[in-house]
């Protein structure tokens, strides 16, 4: 059983569901089949995707249309030599082409590499190079970044653009239009790779979490329960979270398509609370995933009511009692907070229809997942004791491995437990509360930001000798990125400060650019020469 609607149907308690739950993972499983073709065969006219263009006009896509277009795209990709195991990168916002590329690649047994459109050249160069992407699908806004690094990407053979044509670039819709209609789905097992989601760590470059097709099944109990039985008549999903991240892809797009719940797609360059409310009203959204930062911005904007919502789920940062109370007033329902990470998502959740919600807690272990608090030695700790949040393996939602990084994969586990890197505690009722990171990853606006990539960029400036990046408290974002800079010579200035921030914005990504920057003479170091980021945060 994988549907929250089914779990809730007989009125069992959360504890009964946990005790009785058994995973049903078939020997053959493919995301394109269950999220597209299965519906297209039985209900081809069923609404799958509602695209709201930047100008406000709309275009609906049925499952039948998605199936036909994704088959054509799969054939186009195949004509360029894309097959099982090849990596296909997607550098697009929420658009139909994003969904089609995922479905087409899964049909072929290829591996999707979702990429955030705000990534700069350095951020893209690493991810495209590390994954060995053979093709990339992008648009006019992001094409120049890809072309500027193309010569350095030896594996990249094909570039598709959805809206502009130029030499060396294939037109997405033109190629699709020339392709054949029929393309059978290759046989894949649940452990066959489906996509690589890059996540930031404390040191070194980002790590690519490789997920199998089964990851979708692993998400369904938690996502469905967080939406009080997602899949009811009239349900319609939307999130401002980009589909390049797990929050958009596996919390909304794929579960929605799997359950036959229409998904709203809309390019939102920057989250606008008023615009978001109008979008949901206009498109009939009944279920939404809103990261805590989006909720805080809505509260800050004075949003007083959002009628028509049946469920609101949130994750990425702790909500707290004040935001929960505000949500009850504005939505008329309780926000269901849940918890997970790129490597193992939605393993804790709340469902106000089934359990009391404790402010500050991410909820209880979702049926099908075993979560514990471990000591440094890997022992399960008693209730109300702070330790590291861990998830028992094997688990359908858990990543297969880190791409090209066996050592980091090994370090992620202790015995049968996958370590999250998050400190927390579990009370006697099974509720887990997040306390802090065990490493130096920054949580800002729902993004997990590793300091290493930013520090490397800053140190690349000719005037910078050393750089340290930490998270500092921020009322709206939870944390804001702050950089401490040691110069090779001379003193800092506002001009240099602006230049360094812009360097990170352009070369890595605007969402990781420091909001605060301080020039210092020295950095606190350990006896072995490592930066003491905790001292910088506490100072």
From 154, 188, 222, give the residue that closes a domain. 188
User: Into how many domains does the chain fold?
Assistant: 2
CATH number at residue 481: 3.30.300.30
Host domain of residue 179: 60-188
Question: What is the pLDDT, as a whole number, of residue 2?
Answer: 42
How far is the CA of 113 from the CAs of 47, 329, 337, in angstroms?
26, 39, 27
Ordered DSSP codes for 405-422: -HHHHHHTEETTEEEEEE
Residue 23 resides in a domain: no
Examine residue 524 and state whether it is found in any structural domain, yes or no. yes
Looking at the predicted structure, is the pLDDT value of residue 104 above 50? yes
The domain boundary residue, chosen from 164, 188, 212: 188
**66 falls within a domain:** yes
Q: Which of 188, 206, 229 is the last residue of a domain?
A: 188
Query: Which value, to the nearest 10 degrees, does the dihedral of the CA atoms of residues 242, 244, 245, 246 take?
Result: 110
Interval 377-425: pLDDT, tens: 999 999 999 899 999 999 999 999 999 999 999 999 999 999 999 888 9
The pLDDT value given to residue 323: 87
Dist CA 223 CA 194 (whole Å): 19
- Bond into 4 cis (ω within 30): no
Does position 528 have pLDDT exceeding 50, yes or no? Answer: no
pTM summary value: 0.87
CA 300 to chain centre: 25
Rounded mean pLDDT of 166-178?
94
Could you report the per-residue pLDDT of 477-522, keeping only the tens digit for each?
888 999 999 998 888 999 999 999 999 999 999 999 999 999 999 8
pLDDT computed for residue 439 by the predictor? 67
Summary mean pLDDT of the chain = 92
Quote the DSSP letter at residue 27. Answer: S
Residue 532 belongs to a domain: yes
In a domain, 356, yes or no: no
**Residue 326 maps to a domain:** no
What is the reported pLDDT for 284? 96
Over residues 466-478, the mean pLDDT reads 87
pLDDT of residue 354 exceeding 80? yes
Strands (E), 213-252: 237-238
Is 503 a domain residue? yes
The H or E element containing residue 322 is helix 320-331
CATH label of the domain that carries residue 133:
3.40.50.980
The proportion of the chain whose per-residue pLDDT surpasses 90, expressed as a percent, equals 75
Strand partners, 422: 437
**Exposure pattern of 155-187 as b/e (b: 16+ CB <10 Å)?**
ebebbbbbeeeeeebbbbeebbeebeeebebbe
Q: How many C-beta atoms surround the C-beta of residue 220 within 10 A?
A: 28
**Rounded CA separation 348/361 (Å):** 9
Answer whether residue 526 shows pLDDT above 60: no
Closest CA to 323 of 349, 359, 356: 359
Inside any domain, residue 272: no
Q: CA 289 to CA 446: how far, in whole Å?
A: 12
What pLDDT is recorded for position 3?
Answer: 46
Positive or negative: CA dihedral 167, 171, 172, 174: negative
């Amino acid at each position: 059983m994988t549907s929250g609607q089914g779990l809730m149907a007989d009125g069992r308690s959360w504890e009964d569901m946990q005790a009785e739950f058994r995973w049903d993972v078939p020997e053959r499983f493919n995301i394109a089949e269950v999220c597209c073709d299965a519906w297209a065969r039985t209900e081809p006219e069923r609404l799958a995707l509602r695209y709201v263009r930047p100008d406000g006009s709309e275009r609906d896509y049925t499952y039948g249309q998605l199936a036909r277009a994704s088959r054509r795209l799969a054939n186009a990709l195949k004509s360029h030599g894309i097959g099982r195991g090849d990596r296909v990168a997607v550098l697009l916002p929420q658009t139909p082409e994003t969904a089609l590329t995922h479905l087409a690649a899964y049909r072929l047994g290829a591996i999707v590499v979702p990429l955030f459109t705000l990534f700069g050249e350095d951020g893209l160069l690493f991810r495209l190079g590390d994954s060995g992407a053979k093709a990339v699908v992008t648009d006019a806004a992001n094409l120049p970044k890809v072309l500027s690094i193309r010569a350095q990407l030896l594996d990249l053979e094909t570039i598709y653009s959805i809206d502009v044509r130029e030499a060396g670039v294939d037109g997405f819709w033109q190629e699709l239009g020339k392709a054949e209609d029929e393309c059978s789905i290759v046989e894949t097992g649940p452990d066959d790779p489906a996509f690589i989601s890059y996540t930031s760590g404390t040191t070194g470059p980002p790590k690519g979490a490789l997920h199998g097709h089964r990851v979708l099944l692993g998400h369904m109990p938690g996502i469905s329960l967080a939406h009080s039985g997602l899949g009811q008549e009239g349900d319609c999903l939307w999130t401002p979270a980009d589909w390049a991240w797990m929050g958009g892809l596996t919390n909304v797009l794929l579960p929605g398509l799997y359950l036959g719940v229409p998904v709203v797609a809309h390019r939102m360059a920057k989250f606008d609370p008023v615009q978001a409310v109008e979008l949901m009203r206009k498109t009939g959204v009944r279920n939404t995933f809103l990261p805590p930062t989006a909720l805080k911005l809505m509260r800050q904007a004075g949003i007083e009511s959002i009628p028509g919502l049946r469920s609101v789920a949130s994750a990425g940062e702790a909500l707290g009692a004040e935001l929960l109370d505000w949500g009850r007033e504005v939505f008329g329902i309780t926000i269901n907070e849940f918890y997970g990470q790129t490597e193992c998502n939605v393993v804790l959740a709340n469902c106000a229809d089934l359990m009391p919600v404790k402010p500050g807690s991410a909820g209880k272990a979702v049926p099908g997942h075993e979560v514990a608090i471990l000591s440094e030695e890997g022992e399960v700790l008693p209730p109300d004791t702070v330790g590291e949040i861990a998830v028992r393996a094997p688990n359908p939602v858990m990543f297969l491995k880190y791409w090209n990084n066996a050592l980091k994969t090994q370090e992620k586990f202790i015995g049968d437990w996958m370590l999250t890197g998050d400190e927390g505690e579990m009370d006697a009722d099974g509720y887990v509360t997040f306390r802090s990171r065990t490493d130096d990853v920054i949580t800002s606006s729902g993004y997990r930001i590793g300091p290493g990539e930013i520090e490397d960029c800053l140190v690349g400036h000719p005037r910078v000798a050393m750089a340290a990046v930490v998270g500092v408290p921020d009322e709206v974002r939870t944390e804001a990125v702050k950089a401490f800079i040691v110069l090779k010579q001379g003193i800092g200035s506002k001009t240099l400060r602006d230049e360094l921030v812009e360097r990170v914005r352009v070369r890595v990504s605007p969402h990781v650019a420091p909001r605060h920057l301080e020039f210092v003479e020295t950095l606190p170091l350990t006896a072995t020469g490592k930066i003491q980021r905790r001292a910088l945060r506490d100072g």
